[in-house]
Chain A
Amino acid sequence: MKDKISRDQMYEIHPRIPLAHKQLEEGRITRREFVRFATLLGMSATLAVACAPADEGSGVVEDDGDMADNGVPKRGGMITIGMATDQIIDHPARLSWIEGSNVVRQVCENLTQTNPGAITVPLLLESWEANDTVDQWTLKLREGILFNDGSPFNADTVLFNFGEWLNPEVGSSMLGLLGYLDGDIGRVEKVDDLTVRLNLARPEIGVPENLFHYPSAIMKEGFGGDFIKEPIGTGPFTLEDYVPGERIVLKARSDYWGKSEDGSALPYLDGITFVDLDKDASVSALEGGEIDTFYQPRPADMAALDGADNITSNVASTSSVTVLRMRMDIEPFNDIRVYNAVKKCQDRQKILNLAWLGAGDLGADAHIAPSQPAYAPREIPELDIEGAMALMEEWSADTGNSLPLAVTLVTKNDDGEAEFAQVLKEQMDKAGFDVTLDITEAGGYWERWDEVSLGITAWTDRPLCTMLIPLAYVADAEGNPVPWNETRWVDDEFIEVFNEAAGTLDLEARRELVGKLQDIMLERAPIGIPYFKGVGSLLNSKVKNVPLSPNSYFMLHEVYMEE
């Protein structure tokens, strides 16, 4: 603890850090939240960890996500990874699939890197600084980095990349993520050759995290828009062979700028081979040792290889979810009693066990996941058939409708929804409903997902709740539900609290507001969320030093293989 510093010294790094530290000491925020917050505001990760000893905090299980490893790294060897390689890779800023970014990530690098444990550290940056109001960020670039074609990395490179992200014709999802730049490249300012300043339209603390979002790989200035034709980056590997749908081979670069902690050259591996295998084949291949890991094993794959002696497995929490959603603009779900009765019929643990083999976190009907920052822990509601029955009887008496109420539950069958639907039906049938299941393959559901009155929709992972809620639970300027608002639920208080939360930087205050959002959703949103999916990883035990990413990012520059 010799590295611990005083509050005054913290204040010098950023005025907001001392308060957060006080909250940490009082046990009101977790150690993990403090470290994330302090590092985002420019404190070094080592220092932040030192200021937040593990025995303080609030009793939340500590997890830095690194795999314990005390071995001496060995050099050499190719790692073989099973992963789909058959979709479009052209402009990295345009990527919309993680698998593609996992290829680009080895060749090109980001300005920052978010390590497991949600700690963001500089990568191509030397450091960053936020002003007191957190609406001006100064990015200092690392000096002397060269692209694999010999051209230098400097402020012009960074400006070029911001230009690409903000250019609507490029079509990068970064454009939305960097909303605080208003799509205006004028807000990105070159101070000198190694310094870039971002002048935000509104305060935002997540800037360094956003710079690690998967479409934000830094490309060379003048990049033409096709990675396969110009595989030029600053990363530890170069593109050797690209056969979509078959394999992608990357080779280590001998002049990579990055060094390991003890100063030795990186990467340790000679190269990476991605082979396109389907998941079933991947399971046999991993077991037989033909591949060393594969992308996003399903729960069934995790179960199949449970206890295999040469395989390490892990599960990370995500905000991927299947949402039981009801349209509150049409009968019978236009009555809050009906949709709350449905919500009470969720046997959450059983649904999680059957639909996702128990690998995940239970949810309390709020589309905000425990894996997202600012999540406020809440009690998980129990299955309550009597409560549901009582609501339905009251509704029936009021409206003159007879019970059981016939409803059709529509969903698809490829993501655990069918099991979810089946468990729900069994309980609902006891509580005054007569449920018919209408389960189709994925395409059949996506054709009508926002139209059906009662359905289960899959939503993918998003690192922050502020990235999801504006898509699904708000109205547009005229007060009409936004296009993806499948429930048509628009709640003034909810939207007001949400806007307040999005603009709040103080950790504790923000969590209080997010907790309020969760309570509102549990109380009166027409959605049921019994669980959030855990995403697993399976790894041959000889592969060491692999950071576990909740987003299934492969970060391989310090990985090595024993044998």
Chain B
Amino acid sequence: MARFIFRSIISTIVTMLLVSITLFILLEFERPSVAKERPCSGIIRKILGIMATPEQCVSFRNQLGIDQPLPLRYVDWLAGNDWRAESKTGYPLVTLDNLNSGEEEWWMEVDGRYMQFEIDGEDLVALVRQEDGFVEREVMNDLWRPNDDGAGEQFWGVDNKGRAVKWLLGSGKTAFISTQTGWQEIDNAPDDYLPLRKGMLRGDPGFSLRTNRPVNSQIFRRIRNTALLAGLAFAVVMPLALVLGIVAGVNEGKLIDRVISVGGLFGTATPEFVTGMLLILVFAIWLKMFPAVSVFTTDKLSLSDWKKFALPVLTLTTVELGYIIRMTRASMVEVMNTSYIRTAIIKGMPFKRVVFKHAIRNALMAPITIIMLHVNWLIGGIVVVEAIFGYPGLGTYIYDSAIFGDVNALEASAMVTVLVAVVTRLLGDLAYTYLNPRIRYS
């Protein structure tokens, strides 16, 4: 048993790694060779819009750090690049929480003080972090170091946008920065950018291109919201569906079986947006029993908030119920027709005991597979239900990120759904072994 679990966990980790590589290659920006020829193609075009010129795109790529080779970017994404940046700056890089917004910011620790840097003409200006969270400006020209090729001076430091950057003294280099109201050419721009990140393994998926805030500050809330909704729906649907399925299966062909089967089919056959709108119309607009949408105005949930979950959970229940009922019923019918059940009944064993002791265990194998797959769907795939009820869940987050081309957010959320998928598979495996000793002892 222990060995079985150990093997499952190892294969889970390997799966995650392989999937992450595939995902990264699929979702990341195109290969550098393509980028060289057409710097404005793909996602860059999507973000910068129709008016961006090739040189602006090249500058933007540099600022995003996506002009580096793909394998290196994968390592950055997975394990972070602060250690790589530290070898360039020569000083430790740390993250500190902003006192106002609580977001993590990158600072360079120089002689016990935390600094970010900017350039003012020929001067290197340090923004020194004070106790109260504000900064004091200080000129620090003694930090200039000789250039790599010996001509002139350079400095690797951290700017106030979470990037390690290289300035060349008096280079007069210009860069294009995207400012939403158009492009601006800035002077004394850094020569090279390396956007700092801790990497997925350390829980940092980087910045969202859509909001310019850390993906972390949004995605965890979305996961929590979704887990709550999915959990509630799961808790309602599964017992109900299993009980109804078993009842229908045991009573195959009788009236109660027909009622359950047809009712379930009706629910499943209706698309969720129709069900959702119908429920809103009846329960929110006509009867005014429940709110039409799930609007949460604070983070703290109170007991009275249960009403806000009523309609989304009811919608998901309607859609899910019929499917699982059918699976359970079919499986139950099959088991009830096997010779060992018939033998047990003929030998005079009480019917209840036959069903509960011998049939259910075997009949649950197939529904469990379906149920585990549905957990997955509940976590990442209920975009439609989330959109109808204005519920801020992971599904809409993935959808919006994909529409915008927000690669960092998309990769992070895709990894979350993958994680859910492999973990539910693991749980499914464990459930099999519990239900079927043959797997346990093989």
Contact = CB atoms under 8 A, between A and B. Distances in A.
B298 A249 contact: yes
Contacts of B210: 86-88
B387 A449 contact: no
B177 interface: yes
Interface in A223-260: 224-226, 228-231, 241-247, 249
Interface in B223-248: none
Contact of A281 (B135, B296, B387): B387
Contacts of B255: none
A49 to B, nearest CB: 35
A169 B210 CA distance: 21
A92 B60 CA distance: 22
Interface string B274-302: 00000010001100100111011111000
Contacts, number: 132
Contact of A277 (B103, B291, B295, B299): B295
Given A284-B293, A291-B295, A230 B387 contact: no
Given A169-B186, A288-B291, 6 more contacts: A87-B211, A172-B181, A243-B217, A244-B213, A246-B296, A249-B298
B181 A215 contact: yes
Contacts of A246: 218, 221, 296, 392
B285 A284 contact: yes
Interface of B: 46, 49-51, 98, 100-101, 103, 135, 160, 177, 179-182, 184-186, 208, 210-213, 217-218, 221, 280, 284-285, 288, 291-293, 295-299, 387-390, 392, 397, 400
Contacts of B285: 284, 287-288
Q: Which 5 A-B pairs have the closest CB atoms?
A: A171-B179, A288-B292, A281-B390, A284-B292, A173-B181
A134 interface: no
Interface string A68-79: 000000000010
B390 A282 contact: yes
B181 A288 contact: no
Given A80-B297, A86-B400, A245-B400, A280 B100 contact: no
A446 interface: yes
12 contacts: A80-B295, A86-B400, A94-B179, A224-B160, A229-B103, A275-B296, A284-B293, A285-B295, A288-B280, A290-B295, A446-B50, A483-B51
Contacts of B177: 169, 171
Given A86-B400, A281-B389, A447 B50 contact: yes
* SS class, residues of chain A in contact with chain B: loop
Most buried by B among A82, A229, A230: A229
B219 to A, nearest CB: 10
Contacts of A171: 177, 179-182, 184
B81 to A, nearest CB: 23
A278 B386 CA distance: 10
Contacts of A242: 101
B221 A285 contact: no
A244 B181 contact: no
Interface of A: 78, 80, 82, 86-88, 90, 94-96, 168-173, 215, 224-226, 228-231, 241-247, 249, 273, 275-278, 280-282, 284-285, 287-291, 443, 446-447, 449, 483
Contact of A276 (B181, B212, B298, B392): B392
Nearest to B391: A281
Contacts of A285: 291-293, 295, 390
Interface centre among B211, B299, B388 (most CB of A within 10 A): B211
Contacts of A215: 181
Most buried by A among B51, B297, B400: B297
B297 A273 contact: yes
Given A249-B297, A284-B284, A443 B181 contact: no
Given A171-B182, A228-B100, A243 B221 contact: yes
A290 B295 CA distance: 7
Given A244-B218, A277-B295, A288-B284, A229 B101 contact: yes
Nearest to B188: A169
Contacts of B103: 228-229
Contacts of B185: 168
Contacts of A447: 50
A86 B221 CA distance: 14
B396 to A, nearest CB: 8
Nearest to A97: B180
Contact of B397 (A229, A245, A291): A245
A96 B179 CA distance: 9
B184 A168 contact: yes
Contact of B218 (A243, A278, A446): A243
Nearest to B225: A246
Given A94-B181, A245-B392, A281-B390, A88 B211 contact: yes
A224 B160 CA distance: 10
A88 B218 contact: no
Contacts of B213: 228, 244
A275 B184 contact: no
A241 B296 CA distance: 12
A168 B179 CA distance: 10
A96 B180 contact: yes
